[in-house]
Amino acid sequence: MGKVAVIGVGHSKFGDRQEVNVKELAFESVKPALEEAGITRKDIPFVSVGSVGVWYEEPLPAVAIAEYCGLTGAGLTRVEAACATGSAAVYSGYTAIASGYVDLALVIGVEKMREVDTFTAVELMGRAGSYLWEFENFGLTFPGYYALYATAYMNRFGATEEDLALVAVKNHKYGALNPLAQLQREITVEDVLSSYVVAWPLKLYDCCPITDGSAAIVLASEEKVRELRIDAPVWIAGIGYSSGTGTLSYRGGFIGLDAAVRASRMAYSRSGVEAKDIEVAEVHDCFTIAEIMAYEDLGFCNRGEGFKIVREGQTEIGGKIPVNIDGGLKAKGHPIGATGVSMIVELTKQLREEVKPRSRQAPMRNYVALAHNVGGTGHYCYVTILRR
């Protein structure tokens, strides 16, 4: 398998983007990604589009986006893996290059979730599990799935609602520094605890927002990197993946996501790094409990210690492992198809030491980063390790 590098990135503003359609939203990321890579639309032989797409009008988003962006004629694929759709699209582009079929690939993640009302969006996300059994019979919603994990985790390890709130406070702190984030204001623990209950113990400020947004990356082979004279490419060192049962009642426990554990072990093995080597991470914090479990699933700490390292500030800049210092899904936003690609954009900039403002730049020594993208409640998981 050949080496694959990220040579160009682009990112739209996340939020309620009613002023653009899905094609225009995608273009906001595609244009800067191509420009940064120093290539034209005609140079792209393969495009992977990550988009769930049930919220907006285009039934064939890859075709519509390619036409609008001037990419008609390139090989096209549309990828779906629930909330891990973006990372699945990255994997599609990565394997196309690593296998030798193409030397360049464009990966686009895009979603227009706010084309429908909140209740419809919640229902559509609630269908992402075992629809007939858990959604129809018991009314489980997406927050409800993670509430099951939160209550089990709190009961087992003694974490509190305040501990969950600390995750939201941290991520809003960094989201307030990110001009592309949806929620750009700091909050307090009391703000979280006093927000209304969505699915106990998860409250409004424990939950990520419903978001429109796009992100794009250009991937290149080692030969193409040399040809284009890319000075400091960011290499995809390894990608791990796994899945979990669609029916949560089949699972043996609710204190972590087995798919994330397996995916991370695969990624570490393929990249030749260990959890202790990671210097900055983007993890899937669709709900505050999800970030705490991710610390443990990824090996940043032992099982049952995730909430403790939040208390200690170890996942902030200056701590042991800065996590979600762009605001994460919680504050930056979670346009489902774009999230995994957005993670790679952020980490590429971190590894290049290009993040602005500088107060949001993680210190670098070994230049190793990790993206953890979960679909559903561990129904899918991709872990991507980047090196510079």
Q: If the chain, 388 residues long, is cut into consecutive pieces of 10 residues, what is the mean pLDDT of each piece?
A: 96 98 98 98 98 94 98 98 98 98 98 94 82 74 94 98 98 98 98 97 98 98 97 96 92 95 98 98 98 98 98 98 98 98 98 96 97 96 98
Task: Output the CA–CA distances (angstroms, integers) from residue 252 to 247, 258, 306, in the order listed.
Answer: 11, 10, 20
| Residues 146/378, Cβ–Cβ less than 8 Å | no
Residue 346 carries which DSSP code?
A: H
Give residue 125's pLDDT: 85
Cα–Cα dist 49/63, whole Å: 9
**Which residue in 83, 207, 286, 381 is the catalytic one?**
83
**Which residue in 334, 372, 379, 381 is the catalytic one?**
334
| Residues 61/49, Cβ–Cβ less than 8 Å | yes
Give residue 140's pLDDT: 81
Cα–Cα dist 324/171, whole Å: 6
What single letter denotes the amino acid at residue 204?
L
What single letter denotes the amino acid at residue 319?
G
Compute the radius of gyration of the chain from its Cα atoms.
Answer: 19
Q: Is 208 in the active site?
A: no
Residue ranges of domains in the chain: 4-116+210-228
- 352, 358, 360, 365 alpha-carbon torsion, rounded to 10°: 50
In the block, residue with structure tokens 């986006």: 65
Give residue 82's pLDDT: 95
Element (H, E) at 75: strand 75-79
Fold assignment, 4-116+210-228 = Peroxisomal Thiolase; Chain A, domain 1 (3.40.47)
Global confidence as pTM: 0.98
Cα–Cα dist 286/290, whole Å: 6
Max CA separation in the chain (angstroms): 58
Task: Output the CA–CA distances (angstroms, integers) from residue 207 to 93, 137, 169, 172, in the order listed.
Answer: 30, 24, 12, 12
In the block, residue with structure tokens 């796009």: 214
Cα–Cα dist 260/275, whole Å: 13
CA 257 to chain centre: 16
What is the spatial order of strands in the sheet that 4-11 belongs to? 75-79, 46-50, 104-112, 212-221, 4-11, 234-243, 380-387, 368-375, 280-282
Kindly write down the DSSP assignment for every residue of 80-123, as one continuous string.
Answer: -BTBTHHHHHHHHHHHHHHTTS-SEEEEEEEEEGGGS-HHHHHH
Element (H, E) at 236: strand 234-243
Give residue 145's pLDDT: 93
CA 350 to chain centre: 15
| DSSP strand pairing (104-112 vs 202-203) | unpaired
Give residue 96's pLDDT: 98
Kindly write down the DSSP assignment for every residue of 285-339, as one continuous string.
Answer: -SBHHHHHHHHHHTTSS-TT-HHHHHHTTTTSTTSSS-B-TT-HHHHT---HHHH
Give residue 63's pLDDT: 98
Q: Helices 142-157 & 118-126, crossing angle to 10 degrees?
A: 70
| Residues 347/280, Cβ–Cβ less than 8 Å | yes
Neighbours of 1 (CB within 10 A): 10
Q: Is 69 in the active site?
A: no
Give residue 62's pLDDT: 98
Neighbours of 92 (CB within 10 A): 19
